Chains A and B, each alone.
Chain A
Amino acid sequence: MIPSTVPPKYKITIDHDKCILCGRCAKECAWDAIRKSKDKIITYDNRCGSCFRCASMCPRDAITIIENPSQGRKHPVWTPEARQDVLNQANSGCILLSGMGNAKDYPIYYDNIVLDACQVTNPSIDPLREPMELRTYIGSKPEKLEFEYIEEEIDGKKVKKSKLKTKIAPNLKLDTPIMIGHMSYGAISLNSHKAMAKAVKRCGTFMGTGEGGLHRDLYEYSDNIITQVASGRFGVNSEYLSKGAAIEIKIGQGAKPGIGGHLPGEKVSAEVSMTRMIPEGSDAISPAPHHDIYSIEDLAQLVRSLKEATRWKLPVFVKISAVHNVAAIANGIATSDADAVVIDGFKGGTGAAPKVFRDNVGIPIEVAISAVDDRLREQGNRNKVSIIASGGIRNSADVFKSIALGADAVYIGTAAMIAMGCTVCGRCYGGKCCWGIATQRADLVERLEIEEAADRVSNLIGAWTHEIKELLGAAGINSIESLRGNRDRLRGIGLNEVELKALGLKQAGL
């Protein structure tokens, strides 16, 4: 046997002067990286993913997890991670799995965009004293309105009254432009879903079910749920479709463009199996393509079928991952009777993705929003669909910038999970999330307190909403629709001419 030639990534250190040998750390670690042996705590550094559960729960603050300084010979190309990947594949002959979003050091364009603010001639607006409107409607709008005029007699006088002739398609009404994107039951726990459902209801917004169906316990949140139809069609039946306020067809996902999904059998518990309508313990495979969609016409047909199945009462969204020709695809979607196009950038999270996809496929969401908004406007289709942006939205400034670049609203995923306790350790695919979020193991799921997690998620959305109001006020804008596509309020900094052009931004100072 060839021993591992790469040192463990993390190092767990126990301060034995502080440790009282309570064994809590060993109980908390689902990865068996810490064990208690009589009068000693023993650590297994190579199993540690740095999820920090043990350190957080230690009553004596006796645990430290650091990046292992003993990395062997330093090499600029053959980093420990690169060598570890080679070793893992040399051992297994398999595709490498990973969790969370793209972990490579690509530029984050959001951080090279600065916002504009008011000074003398356009006074800033104080959201505490003046109305600040964040209400957003997601769905198709007509290009123009038509009215008919009827003469009525009121108190003996003939009055001409106008009546709206144009029919407005069903739209989702959002009190804040922040929704929680699709993370399936199976990939994450029921407690996580329940907490997020409570949060979005409180905030007047929506969450996606992901492709894992909708657990009956969430039926009471129907008015705030977007159901998803992915290639695996897990849990999809007419009852499921009617239990949401909108339906989303998932074609692609930012973390893994061009491929489907895979929920390992060990995550398919009895409840997950019932909700997904698949046998317990079986792998749930979503194929890369939908086997009834091989063209934009096929997609249009599915959009209409889903509308027909729900009596044309629900808006239908189509989610695609951000790739280089995303604008053309989005424009095709806009002409397919779909009501919104969801674009998921390559920093988007995931429960499990082949590492090579997660880190190398797709494009940043910022440029995708810009390209899609431009193309839809050029083709006269912008009113036909809303744009929902997702994939790496980290704070309210990212939301603000996304909308100014052209989005109607955003989906957050990882941020909501972090609010619930996720430490972005990236081992969601292992099913042993020590924080009870990305796991189905009953003892771990129990660790997530639903009410507390719901409070934290709604606090997060509420706090960002406050911040967006302040940012709008600073920009002299009192309704979110005047921010949509308002790239004039943004400037690029540290970007080259081509990048500025792709984003549709002027350089700071101009």
Chain B
Amino acid sequence: MCGIIGFMSKKGRLIKGDKIAKALDSLRDRGNGEGSGYVGYGIYPEYADKYAIHVFIDNTVDFPQIKSKVEEILQRYGIIVKDEEIPVDDSVIKKEHISWRFFYEMDEKYAEIEEDKIVEMVIEINSKIDGAFIFSSGKNLGVFKAAAWPDEVAKYFKLDTYEGYMWLSHARYPTNTKGWWGGAHPFNLLGWSVVHNGEITSYGTNKRYVESFGYECNLLTDTEVVAYLFDLLSRKHKLPIEYVIGALAPRFWKDIDNMDDEKRKICEAIRMTYAGAAMNGPFAIVIGTNQGLVFSNGEVDNKNDMLGFTDRIKLRPLVAAEKDDLLFISSEEAAIRLICPELDRVWMPDAGKMTIARFEE
């Protein structure tokens, strides 16, 4: 279960958040009202070069103390340019957490390692500060999520007041952990935003793999581990995105054995080296990145310069579509048609193949 819908404008056109909310609401039956969320890219043009850090802080009398603990860690490495409560309509759902945002600038002396420092701070805050949880930490983007139905979350966070060139969203049907605000998708770290339909049976292996590189999985959800895997393989190990996906959803050995020498060597090396990163179980994943929209169950489309990947035996649905400069990806075609009835192309990406969509120059 779980409903996914995302779209991006390859020309970078800004689109209001109510569109994605409308589409996601049509997938409400794929969720159960225990988690819905959205991420918009390009929503903070005024602070485009600052990190937009979204934090859930427990809505209790301890709020000021918890917030100051978060600030203390942030101020260790940079300055908070602006901070405020994320505007909400609290008549819609119970405000279990106060959603706060910090626009944050890292001190110049950390320029070389600023993304490492952000990851370090997110992990430190999420694992050490009781009652605070960073759920979004990229530049010019923001996650909005809660344990509620899609339309409620959209109204609560006043999604129609934001405009973005890429939106991802998710209606959750939790089966691993109980529904709670932090467990809702998307999960975000730096530029990586993950929405996911499925259950990663290799979670234990993947979790221990990323933890040996210093990440800490605090949310007990497989979505979190996917974001860390992307961050590790793509940002830290600098693997091309095709190889990252090749590590997470590797080719079968029987296919690798039949490849030409050069390709076989690469695929073998990826499987051997990144065995701990390979994901198993049913999944359809859409990942927003600073490079564009990456999604699973995709196919190579050179014309659009897009790549994607699958769970190898395709146990979860995913459909892609295009209309002019728009690329859509969803667990159901109906959700796409609801906001864009006329489409130029609709396709079901094959199992185990990749697709990446990138912005036009």
- Which residue numbers of A lie inside 8 Å of B, CB to CB? 118, 120-123, 125, 130-131, 133, 135, 137, 141-147, 162-164, 166, 168, 171, 377-378, 380, 382-383, 404, 475-479, 481-489
Q: Which residues of A contact B205 (CB under 8 A)?
A: 481-486
Q: A145-B269, A476-B201, A478-B280 are in contact. List 9 more A-B contacts (CB 8 A).
A: A147-B240, A164-B269, A168-B272, A377-B208, A380-B213, A404-B204, A481-B276, A484-B276, A488-B204
User: How close is B141's CB to chain A, nearest CB, in angstroms?
Assistant: 27
Q: Which residues of B contact A142 (CB under 8 A)?
A: 273
| Cross-chain contact of B272 among A137, A162, A380 (Cβ < 8 A) | A137
Also in contact, A486 and B212, with CB within 8 A (given A130-B313, A131-B252): no
Contact status A479-B315, CB under 8 Å = no
Whether, in the assembled complex, B271 has its beta carbon less than 8 Å from a beta carbon of chain A, the answer is yes
Whether, in the assembled complex, B110 has its beta carbon less than 8 Å from a beta carbon of chain A, the answer is no
Q: How many residues of B contact A (CB 8 A)?
A: 44
Also in contact, A482 and B280, with CB within 8 A (given A122-B199, A123-B315, A130-B313): yes
Contact status A135-B253, CB under 8 Å = yes
Contact status B275-A484, CB under 8 Å = yes
Contact status B270-A482, CB under 8 Å = no
Contact status A121-B175, CB under 8 Å = yes
Contact status A145-B282, CB under 8 Å = no
| Cross-chain contact of B265 among A123, A164, A377, A488 (Cβ < 8 A) | A164
Residue-wise, chain B 234-264 has the 8 Å CB interface mask toward A (1 for contact) of: 0001111001000000101110000000100
Q: Which residues of B contact A135 (CB under 8 A)?
A: 253
Residue-wise, chain B 212-229 has the 8 Å CB interface mask toward A (1 for contact) of: 110000000000000000
Also in contact, A489 and B204, with CB within 8 A (given A145-B237, A145-B269, A377-B212): yes
| Cross-chain contact of B278 among A137, A164, A479, A485 (Cβ < 8 A) | A479
Q: List 7 A-B contacts (CB under 8 A).
A: A144-B239, A145-B270, A166-B269, A377-B208, A377-B211, A479-B278, A486-B208
| Cross-chain contact of A122 among B198, B253, B265 (Cβ < 8 A) | B198
- Which residue numbers of B lie inside 8 Å of A, CB to CB? 1, 175, 198-199, 201-205, 207-209, 211-213, 237-240, 243, 250, 252-254, 262, 265-266, 268-276, 278-282, 312-313, 315
Q: Which residues of B contact A476 (CB under 8 A)?
A: 199, 201, 280-282
Give Cα A411–Cα B312 distance, bound, in whole angstroms: 30
Give Cα A413–Cα B198 distance, bound, in whole angstroms: 40
Give Cα A137–Cα B253 distance, bound, in whole angstroms: 12
Give Cα A166–Cα B270 distance, bound, in whole angstroms: 11
Give Cα A483–Cα B276 distance, bound, in whole angstroms: 9
Give Cα A164–Cα B240 distance, bound, in whole angstroms: 12
Q: Which residues of B contact A477 (CB under 8 A)?
A: 201-202, 280-281
Give Cα A162–Cα B278 distance, bound, in whole angstroms: 21
User: How close is B201's CB to chain A, nearest CB, in angstroms?
Assistant: 4
9 tightest Cβ-Cβ pairs between the two chains A and B: A488-B204, A482-B202, A486-B204, A481-B275, A482-B280, A476-B201, A122-B199, A377-B212, A144-B237
User: How close is B173's CB to chain A, nearest CB, in angstroms?
Assistant: 8
CB nearest to A381 among chain B residues: B212
Tell me which of A120, A147, A166, A479 has the highest count of chain B C-beta atoms within 10 A of its own C-beta: A479
Also in contact, A482 and B278, with CB within 8 A (given A125-B313, A488-B207): yes
User: How close is B62's CB to chain A, nearest CB, in angstroms?
Assistant: 28
Also in contact, A162 and B240, with CB within 8 A (given A377-B212, A476-B282, A482-B279): yes
| Cross-chain contact of A162 among B213, B253, B266, B279 (Cβ < 8 A) | B266
Contact status B199-A121, CB under 8 Å = yes
User: How close is A435's CB to chain B, nearest CB, in angstroms?
Assistant: 38
Contact status A478-B1, CB under 8 Å = no
Q: Which residues of B contact A489 (CB under 8 A)?
A: 201, 204
Q: Which residues of B contact A487 (CB under 8 A)?
A: 204, 208
Give Cα A177–Cα B274 distance, bound, in whole angstroms: 18
Q: Which residues of A contact B209 (CB under 8 A)?
A: 485
- Secondary structure at the A interface, as helix, strand, loop or mixed, is loop
Give Cα A121–Cα B173 distance, bound, in whole angstroms: 10
Q: Which residues of A contact B253 (CB under 8 A)?
A: 133, 135
Give Cα A478–Cα B253 distance, bound, in whole angstroms: 12
Q: Which residues of B contact A484 (CB under 8 A)?
A: 205, 275-276
Give Cα A131–Cα B240 distance, bound, in whole angstroms: 27
CB nearest to B271 among chain A residues: A481
CB nearest to A489 among chain B residues: B204
User: How close is A159's CB to chain B, nearest CB, in angstroms?
Assistant: 11
Q: Which residues of B contact A163 (CB under 8 A)?
A: 262
Also in contact, A488 and B273, with CB within 8 A (given A123-B282, A147-B240, A378-B212): no
Contact status B272-A171, CB under 8 Å = yes
Give Cα A147–Cα B246 distance, bound, in whole angstroms: 14
Give Cα A147–Cα B239 distance, bound, in whole angstroms: 8
User: How close is A239's CB to chain B, nearest CB, in angstroms?
Assistant: 30
Tell me which of B203, B208, B213, B278 has the highest count of chain A C-beta atoms within 10 A of its own C-beta: B208
CB nearest to B239 among chain A residues: A145
Give Cα A165–Cα B4 distance, bound, in whole angstroms: 38
Also in contact, A141 and B273, with CB within 8 A (given A377-B212, A481-B278, A489-B204): yes
Q: Which residues of A contact B237 (CB under 8 A)?
A: 144-145
| Cross-chain contact of B203 among A147, A383, A488 (Cβ < 8 A) | A488
Give Cα A120–Cα B315 distance, bound, in whole angstroms: 12
User: How close is B181's CB to chain A, nearest CB, in angstroms?
Assistant: 21
Also in contact, A382 and B212, with CB within 8 A (given A122-B199, A475-B201, A476-B201): yes
User: How close is B106's CB to chain A, nearest CB, in angstroms?
Assistant: 25
User: How close is B112's CB to chain A, nearest CB, in angstroms?
Assistant: 19
Give Cα A137–Cα B237 distance, bound, in whole angstroms: 22
User: How close is B14's CB to chain A, nearest CB, in angstroms?
Assistant: 32
CB nearest to A475 among chain B residues: B201
Give Cα A154–Cα B208 distance, bound, in whole angstroms: 42
User: How close is B23's CB to chain A, nearest CB, in angstroms?
Assistant: 24
Q: Which residues of A contact B282 (CB under 8 A)?
A: 121-123, 476
User: How close is B335's CB to chain A, nearest CB, in angstroms?
Assistant: 21
Q: Which residues of A contact B203 (CB under 8 A)?
A: 486, 488
Give Cα A125–Cα B250 distance, bound, in whole angstroms: 17
Q: Which residues of A contact B208 (CB under 8 A)?
A: 377, 485-487
Tell me which of B270, B279, B281 has the highest count of chain A C-beta atoms within 10 A of its own C-beta: B281
Give Cα A481–Cα B278 distance, bound, in whole angstroms: 8
Give Cα A125–Cα B279 distance, bound, in whole angstroms: 15
Q: Which residues of B contact A481 (CB under 8 A)?
A: 205, 271, 275-276, 278
Tell me which of B201, B204, B270, B280 has the highest count of chain A C-beta atoms within 10 A of its own C-beta: B201
Also in contact, A479 and B280, with CB within 8 A (given A121-B199, A122-B198, A378-B212): yes
Q: Which residues of B contact A137 (CB under 8 A)?
A: 272
Contact status B204-A485, CB under 8 Å = yes
Q: Which residues of A contact B243 (CB under 8 A)?
A: 145, 147, 162
Give Cα A485–Cα B208 distance, bound, in whole angstroms: 7
Give Cα A483–Cα B252 distance, bound, in whole angstroms: 16
Q: Which residues of A contact B212 (CB under 8 A)?
A: 377-378, 380, 382
Q: Which residues of B contact A380 (CB under 8 A)?
A: 212-213
Also in contact, A478 and B313, with CB within 8 A (given A378-B212, A484-B275): yes
CB nearest to A124 among chain B residues: B201
CB nearest to A166 among chain B residues: B269
Q: Which residues of A contact B201 (CB under 8 A)?
A: 118, 122, 475-477, 482, 489
User: How close is A389's CB to chain B, nearest CB, in angstroms?
Assistant: 16
User: How close is A137's CB to chain B, nearest CB, in angstroms?
Assistant: 5
Q: Which residues of B contact A171 (CB under 8 A)?
A: 272
Give Cα A486–Cα B281 distance, bound, in whole angstroms: 13
Q: Which residues of A contact B271 (CB under 8 A)?
A: 481
Q: Which residues of A contact B250 (CB under 8 A)?
A: 479
Give Cα A164–Cα B273 distance, bound, in whole angstroms: 12
